[in-house]
Amino acid sequence: MLHQSDFGIDDAELRRNPYWTLAVWGLRFVGGGLFVVLCGLVTLLGSNSAGLVVLAIGMVIYLISIAITYGGLIAAFRSFESLRPSLWRLRWNLIHDALHSK
């Protein structure tokens, strides 16, 4: 968790940032995309064409979600003018917010 003394920003300020919310939702959709990819791999065992279609849909969801997550994370990082937090440390807060919705 981020605290005021760590980076100069607090959790409430970070969660009010619309770019941060975009990154959190993007990360949540990454899990859905991976699930569809897994289903496509299982379907590939039974039917080659249907498995490839499901696998392709899952990969598209996954890749778009990754782009949304990184875009939101970079935009949130750039929105803080002074005392920018470390991107390396922000990943833990992003994972925490994606797993624990409020």
Domain definitions of the chain by residue range: 21-99
Q: Render pLDDT for 35-79 as a digit per residue (tens, 0 to 9).
A: 999 999 999 998 889 999 999 999 999 999 999 999 998 888 888
Report which residue type is found at 99. L
The Cα–Cα gap between 15 and 46 comes to 44
Contact status, residue 83 vs residue 9, Cβ threshold 8 Å:
yes
- Which two tokens mark 75? 């935009």
pTM of the full predicted structure?
0.76
CB 17 within 8 A of CB 49: no
- Rounded to an integer, the average pLDDT of 7-25 is 79
Nearest to residue 29, comparing CAs of 71, 54, 58, 1?
58
Residue 43 confidence (pLDDT): 92
